[in-house]
């Protein structure tokens, strides 16, 4: 079950890097705002 969650997070992270590219820091801040760890 956790493996599926980790895989999903990895896919989202890769997609984010692909879409935002150099703006990955902004993407991470946005993501961090939605999911606070």
**Predicted pLDDT at 12:** 84
**Predicted pLDDT at 2:** 87
**Predicted pLDDT at 36:** 57
pTM for the full model? 0.47
**Predicted pLDDT at 17:** 75
Query: Distance between CA atoms of 8 and 4, rounded to whole angstroms?
Result: 6
**Predicted pLDDT at 19:** 75
3-state secondary structure of 9: helix
- DSSP code per residue over 10-30: HHHHHHHHHHHGGGHHHHHHH
CB distance 27 to 16 below 8 Å: yes
User: pLDDT tens string for the chain (37 positions)?
Assistant: 888 988 888 888 888 778 766 676 777 777 777 765 5
């Amino acid at each position: 079950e956790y493996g599926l969650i980790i895989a999903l997070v990895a896919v989202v992270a890769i997609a984010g890097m692909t879409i935002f590219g150099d703006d990955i820091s902004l993407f991470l801040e946005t993501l961090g705002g939605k999911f606070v760890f």
